[in-house]
Amino acid sequence: MGSNVDPGKNELELFLDGFPSLADHKSQLIDELQTITFPKGSILIREGQPLNYCYFVLKGCIRQYVNDEGVEKTINFFTEHQGVVSFSAGPDNRFSDHYLECMEECMVIRGEMNGGGEMLEQIPALREIIGKMIEADLGQTQEELKRFILLSPEERYGYLLQQRPELIARVPQKYIASYLGIAPESFSRMKRRIVNRES
Amino acid sequence: MGSNVDPGKNELELFLDGFPSLADHKSQLIDELQTITFPKGSILIREGQPLNYCYFVLKGCIRQYVNDEGVEKTINFFTEHQGVVSFSAGPDNRFSDHYLECMEECMVIRGEMNGGGEMLEQIPALREIIGKMIEADLGQTQEELKRFILLSPEERYGYLLQQRPELIARVPQKYIASYLGIAPESFSRMKRRIVNRES
């Protein structure tokens, strides 16, 4: 390996150590999987661009947002060991309806949509792990949808505080407000209300 | 075959005809997959019960709802050729937080969660088809979440009219209102507004 190896390869190696079933294929995976380190502020995809790639976050935080008639609306944040993948809901969905922005320097594995077939043939354990990840992703998206239907913005903030406290510390508060679907000023008032209630 | 064969087996056979890659295993699948026909009004699972099964709708319509402090809130409707599966978002999610109710007589394939391993070993094409279905399900759930974040109830109704017009005709309107997150009276007013606008 040369000196210009992407630092993501080290993160990838650490990550793969967590999967004993991949041990026999570790060096192949480190060689063949494409890791990229994007600087903070990078836009990985824009609205209207073809959905060519999926990502897996080794380190960093990626924000997904849409442009709703000039207003940015934050849909999700992806952090360590989350996949970032938009499956087509139909044949018309081959183009992105959203943006992906790196909130920090981000080390990712980048895969081609519908790619990697040969590697999956060779390493059935990898296919199984990816299948489980997609199932978990579906479970999380189902939960997220239910929370959106059932909870108020304040309750969703409480959930975030409990489940992803590190996210609130890492991300500018205006994006958390946008994710909760409220104006930044209302978000500040809401946080003060919660602090006053608890003190 | 005896006379008490579940009529779902015929639907299953018709459905399998759509998958040439499964042709060699068709009779095995018809034998081994469990089809059940539930009468209209059946409750397939209640809040708090263990998530033992997943379903695939061959014919019929299943409503998913939660009980939000005494008020039923409709989360989704599953119709022909949709899977009904709740993947755990975590180890605490082995119990259902929702109800599934048959809006009509429903013919379904019922599978055990984490079951079917042997059949999937024997029929790799089945594994591939199920994998694609889960991906499509994830895509649809991601889309649904985005619509919830971005669209007003009226816009979501417009989307439903365009994408699932048959659903609106099949399901009591109070459940469509609940799905859109509005009171039945507001829903009636909204529909009149739309009709007046278009006439």
Distance CA B57, CA B106 (A): 7
Contact call for A142 and B89, based on CB within 8 A: yes
What are the boundaries of each domain within chain A? 8-122
Distance CA A188, CA B37 (A): 53
Distance, in angstroms, between B51 CA and closest chain A CA? 13
CATH superfamily, domain A8-122, is Jelly Rolls (2.60.120.10)
Distance CA A154, CA A159 (A): 9
Locate the chain B residue with the closest alpha carbon to A75: B146
How confident is the model over B32-54, as pLDDT tens digits? 999 999 999 999 999 999 988 99
> Was domain B8-137 assigned CATH 3.40.50.2300?
no
Q: Does the global pTM surpass 0.80? A: yes
Is B155 touching A (CB cutoff 8 A)? no
Distance CA B196, CA B59 (A): 35
Contact call for A139 and B73, based on CB within 8 A: no
Is A72 touching B (CB cutoff 8 A)? no
Chain B, 13-42: which have a CB under 8 Å from a chain A CB? none
Is B132 touching A (CB cutoff 8 A)? no
* Residue A125 pLDDT greater than 80, yes or no: yes
Comparing CA positions, the residue from A181, A147, A140 lying closest to residue B73 is A147
How confident is the model over A169-190, as pLDDT tens digits? 999 999 999 999 889 899 999 9
Query: Chain B residues with CB inside 8 Å of A68's CB?
Result: 150
Q: Is the ipTM of this complex over 0.90?
A: no
Distance, in angstroms, between A34 CA and closest chain B CA? 22
